Structure 1
Amino acid sequence: MPQMPRIPVRLIAGIFVIVLVLVLAWTSYYTVQAESEGVVLRFGRFLKTVEPGLHFKFPLGIDQVTVLPTRRQLKLEFGFVTAGYTNIDQPAREGAEERSMVTGDLNAALVEWVVQYRIDDPKQYLFDVRNPGQTLRDLSEAAMREVIGDRTVDEVITIGRQDIEVAALARMQELAKRYMLGVRVDQVQLKNVNPPAEVQASFNEVNKAQQDR
């Protein structure tokens, strides 16, 4: 019975070395996109942030890179969800409880709003708060409830929208700084603001009567 030819040990070793070199080379370079910054960890500890472009890192898990969209404006929607919009901190379903609020005169209002923000401190964003995106959602909702709770239902639904946006923005900026989220809140924009469906007709009648005076 003919014997199988032996593969030289040097050939096997040579192939292994070539494959290893290719793997090391492949995992030693990474690209940071134009709208982002890279946060580099070495042995699990913060090392540096890097600008967009092609960069070198130590392979085999020695260096790890997290890319954050620091130059892109991000948004969170409250009380509604735009179809097709992707944000890992955006719930997939509309938040009925999220938009249900109580005004200062103890009336109910359904408030939908958008928060626009940027990641302005990547290190702080990744390491100072366990879940910065969810924390931003929580403090944004708390700030809006606080502002709505200081105003009458008429101010909330009709005449006070701009004032609410300004006050909510200031409060969210204050909280984001206090809790060191690493984000800058740029804008708060109210969307649909209405009374609950069961009192919508009565509210419209009151408004019409006031306008007819």
Structure 2
Amino acid sequence: MNWDWEKLQQRNRQRKSGWEPGSGGGGPTPPDFTKIKEALNKWGDSRLILIILVIIMVGWLLTGFFRVEPGQVGVVQRFGAVVHVTEMGAGLNWHWPRPVGQATKVDTQQIRSFEIGFTRVEGRKRVNRDEALMLTKDKNIVHFEIIVHYQVQNPEEYLFEIENPEEVIKTTTESALRSAVGTLEIDRAIVAEGLSRIANNTQDLLQDLLDDYNSGLRVVNVRTERGDAPQEVRQAFHDVVRAMEDKERLIHRAEEYREDIIPRARGARAQRILEAQGEVKRFGQLLVEYRKAKGVTRQRLYLETIGDILPGVNKIIMDKDAAERVMLFPDGKGVRFETIETER
């Protein structure tokens, strides 16, 4: 049976190839078209697979294109390491797609902001007392609210040196603010000068801490939104602040008056000293003349003194004999004649 089955298979193959036993001599064996067809089918399958692989490869490479908008930079990584940072607003760029590489865009021109002591929900202000209440140098409780503006300065540090930069800068700001408030007494902390000083100190301390953390962030501005006593004692503190402001205003006014009156008093004193010295000198000269001619000098001094006194008095001085011959007109009523004996 085994032999017959093998014979039958051989005969079938011969029929398919177009050759029968006893049909003729020993010509060349015809080609096996079945094998050729199988080879062609295999080549077609391989070509299709190759085309699919090429399409997938091209599509994968195309995913590496990215656009850097104005104000942004692109941080390009390859196998996790930073290979380069694009220029700001560089436009269309390419990087090796994932998982080989990736690119992260960072906006370095955007001014970001957050609040300490309050939040805004749907346009309404909501106070956060846990953040807002803090202690001053004299152990009094104050209520502070500030707004911080910042931007990314170093995109590499911003992305890879710290985790969750927004949370880090907020907690660091709260710490810096509490330190700045703790350097002033309450009566200094809640006045205009104190609020400005606290804002400046907070900004300086915050920037130092962020630089120590290599955060890649730059503090643009710290603005004090509110600095006041707690709600429960706010009115009493306002009265104290107003009294202190009145005190400062009165002190300032007194200092202005002092700066005005003291120079004038010094000038008047110097003038009087000079006048006195001049009088002393003049009387010294008169003493010398008086000793030479006492009568003449006495008469001259008398006349000079009378000349200083009488200009404002309605009097006429003339010789005794001439006075007896003077005719008075009606408008001379009230003129009184007085005879003064003078030494000849």
Q: TM-score range by the shorter chain?
A: 0.7 to 0.9
Deviations 1:27-48 (A, max 9, x none): 1201122121111111111211
Find the partner of 1:80 among 81, 99, 118. Answer: 118
Match of 1:167 in 2: 201
Find the partner of 2:80 among 31, 44, 52. Answer: 44
- More moved, 157-166 vs 139-148: 157-166
Structure 2, unaligned stretches of length 5 or more? Answer: 1-43, 248-344
Match of 2:309 in 1: none
* CA distance 1:84–1:36, shift in 2 (3 Å): farther
* Aligned 8 A contact 2:117 2:146 in 1: yes
What count of residue pairs does the alignment treat as equivalent?
199
Structure 1, unaligned stretches of length 5 or more? Answer: 1-7, 86-92
Could you tell me how far 1:208 is from its partner in structure 2?
A: 4.0
Larger radius of gyration: 2
Find the partner of 1:34 among 40, 55, 70. Answer: 70
What is the TM-score of this pair, normalised by structure 2? 0.52
Match of 1:185 in 2: 219
* Aligned 8 A contact 2:116 2:131 in 1: yes
1:23 aligns with 2:23: no
Match of 1:202 in 2: 236
* Aligned 8 A contact 2:61 2:96 in 1: no
* Aligned 8 A contact 2:108 2:155 in 1: yes
What is the TM-score of this pair, normalised by structure 1? 0.82
RMSD: 2.5
- More moved, 16-25 vs 52-61: 16-25
Identity %: 28
3-state DSSP of counterpart to 2:120: coil
Q: Could you say which structure has the higher helix fraction?
A: 2
Find the partner of 2:145 among 96, 99, 112. Answer: 112
Deviations 1:46-100 (A, max 9, x none): 2111122110111232111111111222212111223469xxxxxxx85321111
Q: Could you say which structure has the higher strand fraction?
A: 1
1:127 aligns with 2:160: yes
- Determine the C-alpha separation between the residues in 1 that align with 2:222 and 2:98: 43
3-state DSSP of counterpart to 1:81: strand
- More moved, 133-142 vs 145-154: 133-142
2:152 partner letter = I
1:162 partner letter = S
Could you tell me how far 1:212 is from its partner in structure 2?
A: 5.9
- Determine the C-alpha separation between the residues in 2 that align with 1:60 and 1:24: 9
